[in-house]
Amino acid sequence: MAEPVFPEKTGRERLYAMRHQGPCRNLLPTLLSLAWVLACLSSLGAAPAVPPPRESEELATQYEAVSTPQFLQGQKLISLLSIEPGDSVLDLGCGTGRLAQHVAKLVGPQGKVLGIDPSFQRIAIAKRREAAGLSFEVAGSDNLSSFASGSFDRVYMNYVFHWIDKKEETLRQIDRILKPGGRIGISTGRKDQPSRVRDLIRDSIREVLGEVPADLFVSPFRMSQNELRTLAEQAGFRIVDFQILPFSDYAKDPEEVITFLSASSSGRFLSGVGEEQRERILAVLKQKLSKLQTERGIAMDHPAMLLVGEKPR
């Protein structure tokens, strides 16, 4: 959340007028209390809204090339969902469709897998994977009303949930479109997970800007495991499995690290500053990342929270 903006002269004049307007006088304590709450939220470092994507054909192609960590973690999530031949499955935020293609093999010719994603550039790549029972559409999580109630046996979001603004509403809609006994699967990162690369990113930002601005996008991971479990339970799901999955791989060099961060975030990485400042931060970050270089490359940690919930029968 961005810091609240308090108007100067105009705001004071309005407050002064409200003190002298009979019934409106009672509004002043409420407004002052609201201002105090907003200020407190700001001082506590409330997370700013997720910036809009800056997707492009180049970024979508890069994502296809560097998204192996998400794919491998997705395979683990799918293994926990007990998908059976003939199931109807929705991949919400399918990206370029690698995981949906894997799931299509599990449901077989009698099943159906639909992948949706708001990026038409990623869906263009996913459509090359279409086959009998496997299809893709451009769509987002903000409106699932086109799906009838009880349409799917399984719905999953693999490294997608952290991008969704209206998480509670999305979970309610998933509950609606799942069949009784159907399952939801979620994989996402933890906000409190240590990360050497993330620490270097913040150090680089401070070196260039002097601080990490609240509206500068660094990481989408803003949930703890308790927050994720609570959201799922409040939406009506019974949690049947919850795991913390440690995972790491290697980027060949600093450039590949930055490509991964940019492509995986649909171009959001380090948005919130001017291009000149962004380039300076990236130059410093590359220098710091080069010090982590080994014969295998640069180690990158990708721990994930995996949650499986079931809709009551």
- For residues 138-146, average pLDDT: 91
Q: Which two tokens stand for residue 188?
A: 């996402």
pLDDT digits (tens, 9 = 90+) for 224-276: 999 999 999 999 999 999 999 988 899 999 999 999 999 999 999 999 999 99
Q: Answer yes or no: do 152 and 31 share one domain.
A: no
Q: Which two tokens stand for residue 12?
A: 């004071």
From residue 101, give the alpha-carbon distance in Å to each of 18, 75, 110, 145, 177.
62, 11, 15, 24, 21
3 domain residue, yes or no: no
Instruction: Tell me what pLDDT residue 36 has.
Output: 37
Four-residue CA torsion sign, 206, 210, 215, 216: negative
Q: Which two tokens stand for residue 304?
A: 């994930």
- For residues 274-288, average pLDDT: 97
Evaluate whether 262 touches 285 at the Cβ level (below 8 Å). no
Q: Which two tokens stand for residue 102?
A: 């894997």
Q: Answer yes or no: do 111 and 62 share one domain.
A: yes
Q: Answer yes or no: do 112 and 27 share one domain.
A: no
105 domain residue, yes or no: yes
Is residue 153 scored above 60 in pLDDT? yes
Is residue 30 scored above 60 in pLDDT? no
Is residue 128 scored above 70 in pLDDT? yes
50 domain residue, yes or no: no
Q: Answer yes or no: do 156 and 29 share one domain.
A: no
pLDDT digits (tens, 9 = 90+) for 45-78: 344 567 888 899 999 999 999 999 999 999 999 9
Separation CA 168–CA 231 (nearest Å): 7
- For residues 143-165, average pLDDT: 95
52 domain residue, yes or no: no
Range of the domain at 22: 9-43
Q: Answer yes or no: do 134 and 175 share one domain.
A: yes
252 domain residue, yes or no: yes
Separation CA 50–CA 217 (nearest Å): 8
294 domain residue, yes or no: yes
Is residue 4 scored above 70 in pLDDT? no
Instruction: Tell me what pLDDT residue 26 has.
Output: 44
Domain tally, the chain: 2
Q: Answer yes or no: do 121 and 237 share one domain.
A: yes
Is residue 216 scored above 70 in pLDDT? yes
Q: Answer yes or no: do 36 and 134 share one domain.
A: no
Number of neighbours of residue 239 by Cβ within 10 angstroms: 14
Q: Answer yes or no: do 186 and 90 share one domain.
A: yes
48 domain residue, yes or no: no
51 domain residue, yes or no: no
Q: Answer yes or no: do 75 and 34 share one domain.
A: no
Q: Answer yes or no: do 101 and 33 share one domain.
A: no
Number of neighbours of residue 130 by Cβ within 10 angstroms: 15
Q: Answer yes or no: do 135 and 259 share one domain.
A: yes
Contacts of 111 (CB under 8 A, 6+ apart): 85, 86, 87, 88, 89, 104, 133
Separation CA 76–CA 156 (nearest Å): 12
- Name all contacts of 106-113 with Cβ < 8 Å and 24+ positions apart: 106/78, 107/83, 107/133, 108/133, 109/133, 110/85, 110/86, 111/85, 111/86, 111/87, 112/87, 112/88, 113/89
Evaluate whether 196 touches 82 at the Cβ level (below 8 Å). no
- When pLDDT is cut at 50, 70 and 90, the band that residue 3 belongs to is very low
Instruction: Tell me what pLDDT residue 46 has.
Output: 40
pLDDT digits (tens, 9 = 90+) for 156-208: 999 999 999 999 999 999 999 999 999 999 999 998 888 899 999 999 999 99
pLDDT digits (tens, 9 = 90+) for 66-112: 999 999 999 999 999 999 999 999 999 999 999 999 999 999 999 99
| Lowest mean pLDDT segment, chosen from 13-17, 147-151, 173-177, 278-282 | 13-17
- Which CATH number covers residue 237? 3.40.50.150
Radius of gyration of the chain (CA): 22
Q: Answer yes or no: do 35 and 141 share one domain.
A: no
